[in-house]
């Protein structure tokens, strides 16, 4: 849509809107000429050319080679600089019985530039700040952080989590203040449902009650107190833990009751299940039991994820890319340099 002359907008706002449009188009195309960007954005060639000059000066774009001319004068190509701003994904998982922190540095396309996993005996805010500070020293263009934890965050404060030192801590605000960049903290299963891009995702740990992530029309369902998805609290009379998980029939019966309960509330077209102890035989049996609990027209399609960590990480990357895009597009013609972070 042409935003060159919106009624009543100031010149500065118009310039920002135009630059945002051009930058989005260039990012989507990866490389393009001024004429191609003008066609995609609806702006004039003259306007786009001026914007591209500014974006190159800021380092958000590079000058590339010449495009094929087709008989006329060759056009200058521009390349989106995906490394202009970087982001940090942090998440925790238990690996071989040991608490492990995973750190990923990604570019504006979500490509991983640096990957590290660190075993840590205890995780608190000080340990997190140390890990983040070390990454900022390595990558001075870090501009946003997404953090995934197995717990509940409400109004910016961690109210329930496996790491007791984090409970009661306004973690997102603390990290924003400490490092001067956007920070978003998300529950592990909520991140997984985003990463998998499905409507419902249920994680069945072997030792703990299950949790669910729900994506309704593309939006995470969190509820008034961010308690949505805490399905271990459903009054189903199930004793969650290794004894139930290790019994094939008890495990399948418990999972089917959870799926049926969830279906009766949100009616998903499909449900993804994950558990280290779940296999194809479990999925088949859970489906059979669900057919006894639900009417045929309400049965969701069941899928089994093979890699919760990958789904978790992918969801955090999506969250991070949204933060980076917001930061990149805010006042695009008035950003002079990457601000220095406090470490």
* CATH number for the domain that contains residue 105: 3.30.420.40
- The tens digit of pLDDT for each residue in 243-285 reads 999 999 999 999 999 999 999 999 999 999 999 999 999 999 9
**Does 215 share its domain with 304?**
yes
- Which one has a higher pLDDT value, 31 or 5? 31
The percent of residues in the chain predicted with pLDDT above 90, rounded, is 78
Res 338 pLDDT > 50: no
**Does 255 share its domain with 231?**
yes
> Number of folded domains in the chain?
3
The C-alpha atoms of residue 288 and residue 77 are separated, in whole angstroms, by 57
- The tens digit of pLDDT for each residue in 114-150 reads 999 999 888 999 999 999 999 999 999 999 999 999 9
Domain annotation covers residue 47: yes
Domain annotation covers residue 334: no
* Domain endpoint, select from 46, 80, 114: 80
Res 339 pLDDT > 50: no
The C-alpha atoms of residue 203 and residue 122 are separated, in whole angstroms, by 24
**The pLDDT value given to residue 12:** 79
Lowest mean pLDDT, pick from 125-129, 134-138, 207-211, 334-338? 334-338
**Does 259 share its domain with 299?**
yes
CATH of the domain at 64: 1.10.10.10
**Does 165 share its domain with 235?**
no
Domain annotation covers residue 103: yes
**Does 201 share its domain with 254?**
yes
**Does 16 share its domain with 33?**
yes
What is the overall mean pLDDT for the chain? 91
**Does 209 share its domain with 303?**
yes
The C-alpha atoms of residue 212 and residue 229 are separated, in whole angstroms, by 4
**Does 175 share its domain with 215?**
no
Domain annotation covers residue 290: yes
The C-alpha atoms of residue 86 and residue 88 are separated, in whole angstroms, by 7
**Does 105 share its domain with 62?**
no
The percent of residues in the chain predicted with pLDDT above 70, rounded, is 92
**Does 158 share its domain with 250?**
no
Structure letter (DSSP) for residue 276: T
**185, HSE (Cβ side, Cα atoms, 13 Å):** 26
* Domain endpoint, select from 22, 56, 80: 80
Domain annotation covers residue 56: yes
* Domain endpoint, select from 186, 208, 227: 186
**The pLDDT value given to residue 72:** 63
Which helix (H) or strand (E) element contains residue 288? helix 280-293
CB 142 within 8 A of CB 87: yes
**Does 107 share its domain with 15?**
no
Domain annotation covers residue 68: yes
**Does 112 share its domain with 63?**
no
Domain annotation covers residue 336: no
Which residues constitute the domain of residue 278?
192-308
Confidence of residue 152 (pLDDT cuts 50, 70, 90): confident
Res 329 pLDDT > 90: no
Confidence of residue 337 (pLDDT cuts 50, 70, 90): very low
**Angle (CA) 128 137 81, round 5°:** 110
Domain annotation covers residue 282: yes
């Amino acid at each position: 849509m042409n935003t060159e002359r919106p009624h009543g907008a100031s010149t500065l706002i118009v310039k920002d809107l135009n630059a945002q449009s051009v930058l989005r188009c260039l990012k989507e195309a990866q490389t393009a000429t001024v004429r191609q960007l003008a066609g995609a954005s609806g702006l004039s060639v003259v306007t786009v050319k001026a914007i591209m000059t500014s974006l190159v000066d800021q380092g958000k774009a590079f000058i590339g080679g010449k495009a094929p001319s087709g008989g006329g004068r060759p056009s200058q190509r521009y390349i989106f600089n995906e490394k202009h701003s970087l982001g940090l994904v942090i998440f925790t998982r238990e690996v071989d019985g040991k608490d492990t922190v995973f750190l990923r540095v990604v570019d504006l396309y979500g490509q991983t530039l640096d990957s590290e996993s660190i075993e840590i005996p205890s995780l608190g805010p000080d340990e997190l700040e140390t890990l983040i500070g070390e990454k900022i020293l390595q990558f001075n263009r870090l501009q946003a952080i997404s953090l995934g934890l197995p717990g509940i965050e409400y109004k910016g404060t961690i109210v329930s989590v496996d790491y007791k030192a984090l409970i009661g801590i306004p973690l997102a605000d603390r990290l924003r203040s400490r490092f001067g960049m956007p920070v978003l903290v998300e529950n592990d299963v909520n991140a997984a449902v985003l990463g998998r891009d499905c409507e419902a995702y249920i994680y069945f740990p072997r030792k703990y009650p299950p949790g669910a992530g729900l994506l309704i029309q593309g939006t995470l369902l969190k509820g008034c107190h961010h308690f949505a998805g805490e399905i271990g609290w459903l009054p189903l009379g199930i004793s969650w833990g290794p004894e139930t998980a290790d019994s094939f029939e008890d495990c399948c019966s418990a999972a089917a009751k959870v799926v049926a309960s969830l279906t009766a509330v949100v009616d998903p077209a499909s449900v993804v299940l994950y558990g280290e102890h779940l296999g194809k035989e479990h999925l088949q049996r859970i489906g059979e039991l669900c057919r006894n609990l639900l009417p045929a027209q309400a049965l969701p399609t069941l899928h089994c994820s093979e890699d919760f960590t990958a789904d978790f990480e992918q969801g955090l990357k999506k969250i991070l890319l949204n933060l980076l895009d917001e930061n990149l597009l805010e006042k695009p013609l008035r950003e002079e340099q990457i601000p220095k972070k406090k470490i």
